[in-house]
Amino acid sequence: MKKLLILISITFAILFGCTDAEMASNNLSKAAEQFEIERRVIFYNGITDTYMLTVEGRCAIKVDGVDGQLELTCKTGEKQYKKHFLGLSDNVTYFVEQLKVVDVDVYHYRVVFKPEAIIPDIDLVISK
């Protein structure tokens, strides 16, 4: 019962507590996490004023503050992915640009449900 009340509270906060800009931003983020948005990620050295690296494609981004790195997971084809780890420092920063316009609905929030994540594949490793 307690979990149900928490879920209902979160749902009401999402439905009634967001501005159009917040809802569009949330839906764009979800679309990017599903590899639906083309992005360009540029890494820049602030001391030398040079671009260090550019990654373009359908990439999901995660900032790992503990390790001081940016993790990019990019979809390169049907069931094909590449993962990049890029170290961040006081002189290295990055900029993420969305390359194409994407339609998102500001009146409905988006939920992505993946049943295969609930029942994962299991790898069994037996030592000899």
Is 124 inside a domain boundary?
no
Is 14 inside a domain boundary?
yes
Contact 36, 58 (CB under 8 A): yes
Quote the pLDDT of residue 94: 92
Domain range for residue 85?
2-118
Q: For residue range 21-80, list pLDDT tens digits in order.
A: 888 888 899 999 999 999 999 999 999 999 999 999 999 999 988 888 999 999 999 999
Is 22 inside a domain boundary?
yes
Is 19 inside a domain boundary?
yes
Is 27 inside a domain boundary?
yes
| 120 pLDDT higher than 80 | no
Residue with tokens 């550019």: 54
Count of the separate structural domains present in the chain: 1
Q: For residue range 73-114, list pLDDT tens digits in order.
A: 999 999 999 999 999 888 999 999 999 988 887 777 777 777
Is 21 inside a domain boundary?
yes
**What is the model's pTM?**
0.69
Taking Cα atoms as reference points, which of 107, 97, 103, 95 lies closest to residue 28? Answer: 103
